[in-house]
Chains A and B, each alone.
Chain A
Amino acid sequence: AQKVTQAQTEISVVEKEDVTLDCVYETRDTTYYLFWYKQPPSGELVFLIRRNSFDEQNEISGRYSWNFQKSTSSFNFTITASQVVDSAVYFCALSEASGRTGGFKTIFGAGTRLFVKA
């Protein structure tokens, strides 16, 4: 079965600290897609990044970077030099290309709430 685990429920850091949000997934599909979304206090989830299972290249976008490791089934997200505006709930998600184990719906992790203090 497909599953996404975000073991960190809440993280609190001081501004300018680096922080890594962990995501571990389970799937039996060979082709799948991983996502990160941000949910600010306003409530609307915003898409941040997608990674497909054949592309293990890490990605950097400004202060954000993502580390995808198939060997450990992890897709971790690092914010460098965190800012107060980064305070939000961050969700990791998985969808399988075959839909074999649950259709084509996306499975979300429980989310990690990040507090960045000034």
Chain B
Amino acid sequence: DGGITQSPKYLFRKEGQNVTLSCEQNLNHDAMYWYRQDPGQGLRLIYYSQIVNDFQKGDIAEGYSVSREKKESFPLTVTSAQKNPTAFYLCASQAGQGASSSYNEQFFGPGTRLTVL
């Protein structure tokens, strides 16, 4: 069964804590993405990676960090520097790199809902 998994589904964090959201794919896709979705709003790109050991900031990278040590995995850390982290976080993957990726659709995970207490 090919797909993307995200864990946990729900996450609660106390203010000042760092938390890491997991994203794993077994689709053999090169590109992976992290988006943030706030109630009633669209998707905002946090970070993306076109290839292992390389990643780029998206539109709202401040207060977040990522790593891409393995092709299958793209974890997102929400740091204490992120002032308003309560949101729904979606991970996606896409076949191809660079120009060859732009043609392809993205495959999304089920999301992680993060709440700061």
Residues on A close to B: CB < 8 A? 9, 32-33, 35, 37, 42-47, 50, 52, 91, 95-99, 103-106, 108-111, 113
Chain A residues within an 8 Å CB radius of B45: 105
Besides A35-B105, A95-B103, 9 more A-B contacts (Cβ < 8 Å) are A44-B90, A45-B92, A47-B105, A50-B105, A91-B42, A104-B31, A104-B50, A105-B33, A108-B42
Question: Could you mark each residue 81-117 of chain B with 1 if its beta carbon is under 8 Å from any beta carbon of chain A, else 0?
Answer: 0000000101010100011011101111111010000
B28 interface contact, C-beta 8 A: no
Please report B residues at the A interface, Cβ cutoff 8 Å.
31, 33, 35, 40-43, 45, 48, 50, 56, 58, 88, 90, 92, 94, 98-99, 101-103, 105-111, 113
29 cross-chain CB contacts under 8 A: A9-B40, A37-B105, A37-B108, A42-B110, A43-B88, A43-B90, A44-B109, A44-B111, A45-B90, A45-B106, A47-B105, A47-B106, A52-B103, A91-B42, A95-B101, A95-B103, A96-B102, A97-B102, A104-B31, A104-B98, A104-B102, A105-B48, A105-B58, A106-B94, A106-B102, A108-B35, A109-B42, A110-B42, A111-B42
